[in-house]
Structure 1
Amino acid sequence: MYRTRNLLLAAAGAFALSGCQYDVLSPAGWVGDQQRDLLIISVLLMLIVILPVLFMSVYFPLKYRADREDTSDYDPEFEHSNKLEAVVWGVPILIIVALGYYTYVYTHRLDPYRPLDHLEAGAPVEIQAVSLDWKWLFIYPEQGIASVNELVVPAGRPINFSLSSSTVMNTLSIPALGGMVYSMAGMETKLHLIADEEGVYPGRSAHYSGPGFAGMVFDTTATSDEEFDAWVEGIRAEAGPLNRETYLALEEPSMNVPVSHYGSVEDGLFGRIVEMCVEDGKVCMGHMMMVDHNGGGGLEGVGNAAAYSYDRARTIDGFGNRIELPPMESHGGGHGSDHEALNGTEAPNALAYVLAMDPNALCSPFGTQTEKETNGI
């Protein structure tokens, strides 16, 4: 009876696992191939230690058990063996050297910021990926389109990702193509992948980000150049625009969002997203750093806090619902309403200083460039 039950359980487990996709061990891109090779090499090197240990953990207790008949090999005076010392110390050292070598080689070879130009695989495709609550926005700056929860790329051409986030940290993961990199608010990270062959590969966020995390998935479709161009033209002809207004509407928390498209993209929108100043009246991060570099706004600048606030307007509860917080209060400046600070009707001290340095500071997509010009970095 127990044998039958165990066989049934084993069959059920095998049946369940038959639907799994082992993309990590069966990748469809150069980066994934390299990562698989590094994984296999590391496992084989570690097995050099693990397998003998497993063998000896069974062999020695059996061979030297107390009730054995032949005890002539018992040597209570044993102290040292050069051969044994050479094995005990030499093998681990060689394994560490080998692991260090391969780690060095593959760390530089698979640097996510390193372009795949060495593959000579054709012109790369630029994609700006933004993780939202709880969906992915993919902007194609060269084609002037955008898609939500759908990534279409031409097979055989490098994909240059620029990543950011609207709120919490996420991770862009397409296991079949290899690699994954965090997307973080106020930062731009890079990732370079390639699909060697046509197909559909699942992607998702690999970093838990709240109640809608389970539905934060998308399909990556690798097509021919002709099919990719046709897909782009179809979106241009039918979809509406992605501008600051439509982006802010898309940014609202939502779960299990269906695929949607945008036929045009406002210039500099991704830069505004990274600089956290898509909304009218928000001071970009580059300008915030410029003010900090020059000593800050002091107490009199507290009244402009709303122009610098970002997370407050995106506060949510444990179910993903937006929480409306009371207006920010002024403390000592006398100019503290959100409306005044956001629209610049009263711009004392810090905000006036920023505007004097750059009239386009409020909601400017050029905050980073301005910071470089101002601070010389």
Structure 2
Amino acid sequence: MKKGLFAFLTTAPLLFLSGCESKLVVFDPQGPVARSITELINWSLIWMLLVVVVVFGLFGYIVWKYREKKDNLDYEPPDEHGSTLLEIIWTAIPILIVVALTIPTVKTLYALEEVPQGYEDKEPITIHVTSADWKWIFSYPEEGIETVNYVNIPADTPILFKLTSASTMQSFWVPALGGQKYTMGKMETEMYLIADYPGSYEGQNTNFNGRGYADMKFEVLAQTRSEYDKWVQEVKETAPKLTEEEYEELLKPTHLGRLTFSNTHLDWVNHADHNSKTYTHPELYRGHGYQGKIFEEEDNYRNKTSDDIDEHDHQEDTEHGGDHSGH
């Protein structure tokens, strides 16, 4: 019976976990921001594991040591007034654990508000992020272009995302590159993200805001610098202009595929402005349009080394240069 129980305990987890992915995205960071968050998570897990091991260990020890046996069936414990030393110990230990978790958490959170260490001398690229039901709009004010449901960035370069919302509150999250931040109408939050190497990473909304939020996803495509510059120039030369009427239609609660424009809606509205118009359409929330194809293919650059990237940078034609232009 003991052998059967042991076999069950060793194989049961495999049955429950067989459908899970081999690794979680948050534990496979692809940039310095994500790494700092992963290190904080690991630090917290160590302390939680320590607490669990000690508590369950003491529980098992006490249950076994003070169990009822034949030689103590009539045992009556004496009256005790407790131990002052023990009271101090089990009060001080949780306080020390909270301090050990709080200090690195606060330091990490404040550090995330600045350009990551080691990138202070690199000029960040600013991208305005506007969330709407149920899509993501990315505006490049310096380049004068705009994309929907995908954002291209150069690798190894700090990106300053300025986050706001055209309607309801959403949450902007790219697990492989960093943590999440809320987007709110008539307000603006900021987030720095960096991708170590070229790669394709999934972003999503993690704040429930209606029936379409689960499919409110986007792609972050980190490119080599030459690919990124080539893409920007291509968009400027070939993408259509976005009109104010088209933009207001785009903000209605629908799912869309990828869109690309050679101007930005910042020319006539900035949703972070306290006096800006609110684009909500509650009468349309009962139904929405066709779910567009957001991701065209699997990760494009993963597992490439830095040497591969340098060699790739000198090639005149790139394999994936035009696959993600979106227009």
1:62 CA displacement: 1.0
Report the Cα distance in structure 2 between the residues aligned to 1:47 and 1:94, rounded to whole angstroms: 15
- Cα distance per residue 1:36-93 (max 9 Å; x no partner): 111121222233332211111111111111216479x986254444553453233223
- Cα distance per residue 1:1-53 (max 9 Å; x no partner): x999999875453331136x512111111111111111121222233332211
**Structure of higher CA gyration radius:** 1
Report the Cα distance in structure 1 between the residues aligned to 2:66 and 2:15, rounded to whole angstroms: 41
1:275 CA displacement: 3.5
Report the counterpart of residue 131 of structure 2 in structure 1.
131
Alignment partner for residue 315 of structure 1, among 273, 279, 282?
A: 282
Which segment is superposed worse, 201-210 or 5-14?
A: 5-14
Q: Give 1:149-164 correspondences, 5 Å limit.
A: 149-164=149-164
The DSSP-based 3-state class of the residue aligned with 1:316 is helix
Matched, 1:241 2:241: yes
The DSSP-based 3-state class of the residue aligned with 1:185 is coil
Report the Cα distance in structure 1 between the residues aligned to 2:183 and 2:82, rounded to whole angstroms: 55
Report the counterpart of residue 14 of structure 1 in structure 2.
17
The DSSP-based 3-state class of the residue aligned with 1:196 is coil
Report the Cα distance in structure 1 between the residues aligned to 2:14 and 2:51, rounded to whole angstroms: 32
Matched, 1:264 2:263: yes
1:235 CA displacement: 1.6
In structure 1, list runs of 5 or more residues that go unmatched. 277-283, 286-308, 323-377
Report the Cα distance in structure 1 between the residues aligned to 2:84 and 2:123, rounded to whole angstroms: 59
Aligned length: 284
Report the Cα distance in structure 2 between the residues aligned to 1:70 and 1:105, rounded to whole angstroms: 54
- Cα distance per residue 1:277-317 (max 9 Å; x no partner): xxxxxxx44xxxxxxxxxxxxxxxxxxxxxxx846x62324
Report the counterpart of residue 194 of structure 2 in structure 1.
194
The DSSP-based 3-state class of the residue aligned with 1:119 is coil
Q: Report if aligned partners of 2:204, 2:218 keep a CA contact under 8 Å in 1.
A: yes
Q: Report if aligned partners of 1:122, 1:156 keep a CA contact under 8 Å in 2.
A: no
Q: Report if aligned partners of 1:235, 1:263 keep a CA contact under 8 Å in 2.
A: yes
Report the counterpart of residue 29 of structure 1 in structure 2.
31
Amino acid at match of 2:27: L
Q: Give 1:213-252 correspondences, 5 Å limit.
A: 213-252=213-252
User: Structure 1 residues 172, 202: CA separation in 2 closer, same or farther (over 3 Å shift)?
Assistant: same
- Pick the structure with more helix per residue: 1
Report the Cα distance in structure 2 between the residues aligned to 1:262 and 1:188, rounded to whole angstroms: 23
User: Structure 1 residues 6, 41: CA separation in 2 closer, same or farther (over 3 Å shift)?
Assistant: closer
Report the Cα distance in structure 2 between the residues aligned to 1:98 and 1:201, rounded to whole angstroms: 33
1:242 CA displacement: 2.2
What TM-score, normalized to structure 2? 0.76
Report the Cα distance in structure 1 between the residues aligned to 2:58 and 2:165, rounded to whole angstroms: 51
The DSSP-based 3-state class of the residue aligned with 2:171 is strand
Amino acid at match of 2:214: A
User: Structure 1 residues 225, 60: CA separation in 2 closer, same or farther (over 3 Å shift)?
Assistant: same
Amino acid at match of 2:20: L
Alignment partner for residue 93 of structure 1, among 92, 95, 100?
A: 95
Amino acid at match of 1:178: G
Alignment partner for residue 41 of structure 2, among 36, 39, 42?
A: 39
Q: Give 1:196-211 correspondences, 5 Å limit.
A: 196-211=196-211
Report the Cα distance in structure 1 between the residues aligned to 2:11 and 2:101, rounded to whole angstroms: 41
In structure 2, list runs of 5 or more residues that go unmatched. 290-327
- Say which structure, 1 or 2, has more relative contact order (CA 8 Å, 6+ apart): 2
Report the Cα distance in structure 1 between the residues aligned to 2:95 and 2:13, rounded to whole angstroms: 40
Report the counterpart of residue 181 of structure 2 in structure 1.
181
Q: Give 1:352-367 correspondences, 5 Å limit.
A: none
User: Structure 1 residues 104, 261: CA separation in 2 closer, same or farther (over 3 Å shift)?
Assistant: same
Identity of aligned residues (%): 30
Amino acid at match of 2:258: V
